[in-house]
Amino acid sequence: LDLEGKDDYQKISAIYDYICDNVVYDYDNLNNEAYPLQFTAYAALINGTSVCQGYANLFYRMALDWGIDARLIAGDAGGGHAWNIVKMGDYYYNLDSTWDAGLRPNYMWFLKCPATFVNHYRYLEYETPEFHAAYPMGATDYVYNESDFVEEPVLGDVDGDAVQTVEDVYMIRLVVAKLAELTDEQKNAADLDGDGKITAIDANILRKYILEIITEIPVAAG
């Protein structure tokens, strides 16, 4: 899904799009008690077919794999049903990939607050004060604002590939030799000692870190 460097909303959207585009409801095995695979993330991902619990399990697993906090919620929606809540900023929002499957881009159940997530009723274990305190829900539907998820640059990752390598050391040395210029974001990543300047010291700190001569990059000042 090419999620490296993406913010949380972009990751959630890509995962949700993938599930809604590629998983179909397993009506053939809906009442087949001899086929429990229908409830699994495996069936949704590998076989491309599952019931609602498989959809929700797959979103849960994929979200957690990318560092996004999510939960599976069980309840009633005209019958036993499963969906997810996912954290965006300080709050959680509802989404139901089962009901949105095949509807892209006209989703009706994506990042919804409780007031607009109609016809979904949680089982009581998900309605306790303790549960709501641990997973506070947004009061309104989530509206994406790209500036909410501007991440701090990773120290030493000058080329922006999410890992510190000798290529980053080389870029710093080119700047020191006045053979290259960096963007402001690249400068923040290259300033390992936090003195506001890009010098050979920064290149040496990064080189030692890559060679494991030091095991931690010093935290830049400011």
The pLDDT tens digits for 71-124 are 999 999 999 999 999 999 899 999 999 999 999 889 999 999 999 999 999 999
Q: Which amino acid is at 30?
A: L
Round the CA-based radius of gyration of the chain to a whole number and report it: 23
Among 90-99, 152-161, 176-185, the range with the most confident prediction by mean pLDDT is 90-99
Residues 174-179 have a mean pLDDT of: 92
* Alpha helix segments (H runs only) across the chain: 8-22, 41-42, 52-65, 97-100, 129-134, 166-176, 184-190, 200-210
Q: What is the pLDDT of residue 151?
A: 59
What is the Cα–Cα distance from 58 to 52, expressed in whole angstroms?
10
Q: What percent of the chain has pLDDT over 90?
A: 65
Contact 58, 71 (CB under 8 A): no
Residues 165-189 have a mean pLDDT of: 91
Q: What is the pLDDT of residue 149?
A: 63
What is the Cα–Cα distance from 222 to 213, expressed in whole angstroms?
25
* Alpha helix segments (H runs only) across 23-165: 41-42, 52-65, 97-100, 129-134
Among 130-139, 147-156, 202-211, the range with the most confident prediction by mean pLDDT is 130-139
Residues 143-147 have a mean pLDDT of: 80
- How is residue 105 annotated by DSSP? T
pLDDT digits (tens, 9 = 90+) for 37-54: 888 999 999 999 999 999
Q: Work out the mean pLDDT of the chain and round it to a whole number.
A: 90
Better-predicted residue by pLDDT, 30 or 70: 70
pLDDT reading at 131 higher than 80:
yes
pLDDT reading at 178 higher than 60:
yes
- What are the backbone dihedrals phi and psi of residue 10, each rounded to the nearest 5 degrees, phi first? -65, -35
Q: What is the pLDDT of residue 159?
A: 86
